[in-house]
């Protein structure tokens, strides 16, 4: 009697959690859209600050968010745990627990004054797809283990060191990272201890997954750019992630009185910095006017991926009636081609010293961060593209026109770190106005749905 009641209850629950598409397949709107969207907003309310969303590495809000994620993992039929770097894991073994595992994930932390979709969308979409398999009784039929990971740190806000969670799993984070301090003097190791995770150097080294135990890593993320919205398509396949260099430029001149030093006699680092920034803009807009490559045929493609940004400027002594003695500014330079990125940096250095010599100021340029470009696995990308196309056809009843676009990512993602462990693939989801890292960040409910459908279709390809 109990078995019959349970079966009838499951049938009733199935009726309210999915509906047939025109081709007879199930779309699970309650799970992949309604519940997923509700969870995104619920997670978006878990913040360390009342007035806006801020959830940094192992902060109190991050711990609360992790508990929510583990509860939702349990509901999806997954075995859960927290590792020594605070990453949240949920795993289902499938029919062959010893097979190479498929890892799916994104990050749980946020920037300051964040939107609710960056990072969280990839976690919630993965849990929704797993839950859909759980509800239709096929979760245990997966031919390989599937593990969903909510990484503890990608943004690097608290410790100014990105990818703490995923880099530790990939084995590329040095043990010395445990000693990095935040602005309050709390180290990464202290933060772990305060969250009830006592991490020794031996524990840290055990975080790395064995490459032979992993089949691939897949990540779903908002695009954080305007391309998909312009094309009118909710999903895109990522072909690669741009390499990045961060620089700090310091320009030193002669500090003086704003009213008494003649213009012709000034050694003004502010004017020099302004010229340097404009030169950088010209170099990055039209690299072909500055560079002489031996791969000119790739120049157009390289130029379209090259972006340069000056995000911070500071002066000393920073007074309105004083010619500054020193100006510092940052440069963030990204491109899909690492050799081209190095060529731009070389030319930037040449042009900088010419300008500084002409203006009789001293200039220095320090490289603060380097990350090589990452190419997504072609075979994995083809599978994700096929899954995305199937999802779009299901949503439109087979009336979808055009294909799923292939685009690059100018932003860094956990997939960059995970590429050191295994092959990676990514799907982008359209976001309104291309806006991210802002409370104005927004994804349509139906776009959350189609992203979940795409991942569900991808996972169904791993069912025996």
Say what the pLDDT of residue 27 is: 73
> Looking at residue 140, what DSSP letter applies?
G
- Residue pLDDT, tens place only, 188-200: 999 999 988 888 8
- Residue pLDDT, tens place only, 338-369: 989 999 999 999 999 999 999 999 999 999 88
Q: What CATH number is associated with residue 346?
A: 3.30.70.360
> Looking at residue 26, what DSSP letter applies?
B
Cα 160 to Cα 4: distance, rounded to the nearest angstrom = 56
Residue found by looking up tokens 């200039």 in the block: 363
Are 327 and 272 contained in the same domain? yes
Are 387 and 355 contained in the same domain? no
Say what the pLDDT of residue 400 is: 58
Contacts of 44 (CB under 8 A, 6+ apart): 53, 115, 116, 120
Inside any domain, residue 282: yes
Q: What CATH number is associated with residue 204?
A: 3.40.630.10
Give me 100's structure tokens.
């190479």
pTM for the model: 0.84
Are 149 and 50 contained in the same domain? yes
* CA distance readout (Å), 292 to 288, 299, 349: 7, 10, 15
Percentage of the chain exceeding pLDDT 70:
91
Cα 164 to Cα 109: distance, rounded to the nearest angstrom = 11
Inside any domain, residue 18: no
Contacts of 292 (CB under 8 A, 6+ apart): none
Are 419 and 346 contained in the same domain? no
Are 147 and 197 contained in the same domain? yes
The pLDDT mean for the chain works out to: 90
Say what the pLDDT of residue 305 is: 83
Inside any domain, residue 24: no
Inside any domain, residue 11: no
> Which one of 354, 371, 388 terminates a domain?
371
Inside any domain, residue 88: yes
- Residue pLDDT, tens place only, 375-405: 999 999 999 999 999 999 988 876 656 689 9
- Residue pLDDT, tens place only, 20-71: 343 334 578 999 999 999 999 999 999 999 999 999 999 999 999 999 999 9
> Looking at residue 171, what DSSP letter applies?
T
Say what the pLDDT of residue 60 is: 96
Residue found by looking up tokens 């299901």 in the block: 394
Burial of residue 399, with CB atoms counted within 10 A of its CB: 0-12 exposed, 13-18 middle, 19 or more buried: exposed
Are 47 and 177 contained in the same domain? yes
Inside any domain, residue 420: yes
83-112 mean pLDDT: 97
Residue found by looking up tokens 């930037």 in the block: 348
E strand or H helix that includes residue 203 = helix 201-206
Say what the pLDDT of residue 317 is: 97
- Residue pLDDT, tens place only, 251-279: 999 999 999 999 999 999 999 999 999 99
Inside any domain, residue 294: no
Whether the predicted pLDDT of 328 surpasses 90: yes
Say what the pLDDT of residue 356 is: 98
Number of structural domains the chain divides into: 2
Are 63 and 148 contained in the same domain? yes
Are 71 and 200 contained in the same domain? yes
Are 432 and 364 contained in the same domain? no
> Which one of 322, 350, 371 terminates a domain?
371
**Going by DSSP bridges, is the β-strand pair 88-92/79-82 parallel, antiparallel, or unpaired?**
antiparallel
* CA distance readout (Å), 170 to 177, 218, 246: 14, 14, 22
Are 71 and 212 contained in the same domain? yes
Task: Provide the angle, in degrees to the nearest 10, between the axes of the packed helices 60-75 and 120-135.
Answer: 20
Q: What range does the domain containing 325 cover?
A: 243-289+302-371
Question: Phi and psi for 120 in degrees, rounded to 5?
Answer: -60, -35
DSSP characters over 50-100: SSS----TT-HHHHHHHHHHHHHHHHTT-EEEE-TT--EEEEE-TT-TTSP
> Which one of 311, 342, 371 terminates a domain?
371
Angle 245-251-252 (CA atoms, 0-180°, nearest 5)?
150
């Amino acid at each position: 009697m109990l078995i019959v009641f349970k079966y009838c209850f499951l049938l009733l629950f199935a009726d309210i959690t999915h509906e047939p598409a025109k081709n007879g397949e199930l779309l699970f709107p309650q799970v992949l859209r309604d519940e997923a969207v509700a969870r995104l907003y619920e997670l978006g309310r878990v913040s360390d600050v009342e007035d806006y969303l801020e959830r940094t590495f192992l902060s109190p809000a991050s711990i609360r968010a992790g508990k929510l994620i583990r509860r939702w993992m349990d509901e999806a039929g997954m075995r859960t745990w927290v590792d020594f770097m605070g990453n949240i894991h949920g795993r289902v073994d499938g029919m062959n627990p010893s097979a190479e595992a498929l890892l799916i994930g994104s990050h749980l932390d946020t920037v300051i004054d964040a939107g609710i979709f960056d990072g969280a969308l990839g976690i919630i979409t993965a849990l929704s797809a797993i839950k859909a398999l759980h509800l239709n009784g096929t979760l245990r039929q997966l031919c390989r283990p599937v593990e969903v990971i909510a990484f503890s740190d990608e943004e690097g806000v608290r410790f100014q060191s990105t990818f703490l969670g995923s880099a530790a799993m990939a084995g590329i984070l040095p043990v010395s990272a445990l000693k990095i301090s935040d602005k309050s003097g709390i180290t990464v190791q202290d933060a772990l201890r305060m969250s009830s995770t006592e991490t020794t150097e031996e524990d840290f080294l055990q975080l790395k997954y064995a490459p032979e135990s992993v089949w691939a890593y897949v990540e779903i993320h908002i695009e954080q750019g305007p391309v998909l919205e312009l094309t009118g398509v909710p999903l895109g396949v990522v072909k690669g992630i741009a390499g990045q260099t961060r620089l700090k430029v310091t320009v030193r001149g002669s500090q003086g009185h704003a009213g008494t030093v003649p213009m012709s006699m000034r050694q003004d680092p502010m004017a020099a910095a302004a010229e340097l920034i404009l030169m950088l803009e010209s170099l990055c807009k039209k690299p072909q006017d500055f560079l002489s490559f031996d791969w000119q045929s790739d120049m157009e493609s390289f130029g379209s991926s090259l972006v340069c940004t000056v995000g911070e400027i500071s002066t000393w002594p920073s007074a309105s009636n004083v010619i500054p003695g020193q100006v510092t500014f940052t440069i963030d330079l990204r491109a899909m081609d690492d050799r081209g990125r190095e060529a731009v940096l070389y030319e930037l250095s040449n042009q900088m010293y010419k300008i500084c010599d002409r203006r009789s100021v001293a200039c220095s340029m320090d490289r603060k961060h380097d990350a090589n470009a990452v190419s997504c696995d072609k075979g994995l990308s083809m599978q994700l593209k096929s899954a995305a196309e199937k999802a779009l056809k299901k949503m439109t009843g087979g009336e979808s026109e055009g294909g799923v676009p292939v685009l690059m990512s100018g932003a860094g993602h956990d997939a960059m770190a995970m590429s050191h462990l295994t092959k990676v693939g990514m799907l982008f989801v359209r976001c309104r106005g291309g806006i991210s890292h802002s409370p104005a960040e927004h994804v349509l409910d139906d776009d959350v749905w189609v992203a979940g459908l795409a991942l569900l279709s991808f996972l169904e390809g791993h069912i025996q």
